[in-house]
């Protein structure tokens, strides 16, 4: 019941790009360092974002990534689902046929409602708004950003 790291990383990537604005080329390395994401992992995530039409990848020397759309036209939901697929809080939400009971199931209805509500909330959040204030993943002192401490251990 939790977003994967890949999803979280995808959001960080887009948010960093959003701060530079639509069309600005930013190197993978800069994004990786500033958002604390393993560079090779970021490459994979970027490919998914590119396939979803959110970013464009420029190869070669001085390559990098750029936003294809205006930040105001990119929602949190779009980015997340580009990475992890359509959100489905319970198996039967996305695939009702996975449970023979779903046509009669009152719990199923609750899950459908909750799922739709969650997706709506994430759809309301666009990256123009999100980037307005200083936010996600701006490491205060880039030169000292060791980014090797594990992000979260209990």
Partner DNA sequence: ATATATAAGATATTTTTAGTCTTATATCGA
Partner DNA sequence: TCGATATAAGACTAAAAATATCTTATATAT
- Rule CB under 7 A: say whether 146 interacts with DNA: no
- Rule CB under 6 A: say whether 99 interacts with ligand SF4: yes
Give the contact letters, 87-116, x = binds to a copy of itself (CB under 8 A), - = no: xxxxx---x--xx-x--xxxxx-xx-xx--
Q: Which is nearer to ligand SF4, 69 or 108 (CB)?
A: 108
Q: Which is nearer to ligand SF4, 12 or 19 (CB)?
A: 12
How many angstroms separate the CA atoms of 11 and 103, rounded? Answer: 35
Q: Which is nearer to a copy of itself, 43 or 125 (CB)?
A: 125
Contacts 24+ apart (CB under 8 A), 126-130: 126/71, 126/72, 126/73, 126/74, 126/75, 126/76, 127/14, 127/15, 127/18, 127/71, 127/72, 127/74, 127/75, 127/76, 127/79, 128/18, 128/70, 128/71, 128/72, 129/72, 130/15, 130/18, 130/71, 130/76
Point out which residues pair with 126 in neighbouring strands.
Answer: 75
141 is in the binding site of which of DNA, ligand SF4, a copy of itself, none (Cβ under 5 to 8 A by kind)? Answer: none
Q: Which of 21, 47, 53, 138: binder of a copy of itself (CB under 8 A)?
A: 138
Q: Which is nearer to a copy of itself, 68 or 87 (CB)?
A: 87
Least distance (Å) between residue 44 CB and ligand SF4 = 18
């Amino acid at each position: 019941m939790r977003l994967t790291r890949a999803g979280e990383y995808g959001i960080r990537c887009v948010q960093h790009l959003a701060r530079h604005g639509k069309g600005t080329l930013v190197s993978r390395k800069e994004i990786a360092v500033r958002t604390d994401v393993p560079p090779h992992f970021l490459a994979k995530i970027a490919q998914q974002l590119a396939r979803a039409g959110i970013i464009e990848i420029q190869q070669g020397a001085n390559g990098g990534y750029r936003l294809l759309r205006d930040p105001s036209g990119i929602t949190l939901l779009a980015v997340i689902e580009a990475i992890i697929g359509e959100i489905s809080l319970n198996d039967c939400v996305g695939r009702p046929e996975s449970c023979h009971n779903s046509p009669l199931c009152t719990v199923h209805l609750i899950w459908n409602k909750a799922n739709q509500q969650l997706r709506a909330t994430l759809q309301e959040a666009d990256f123009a708004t999100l980037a307005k204030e200083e936010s996600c993943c701006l490491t205060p002192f880039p030169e000292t950003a060791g980014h090797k401490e594990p992000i979260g251990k209990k």
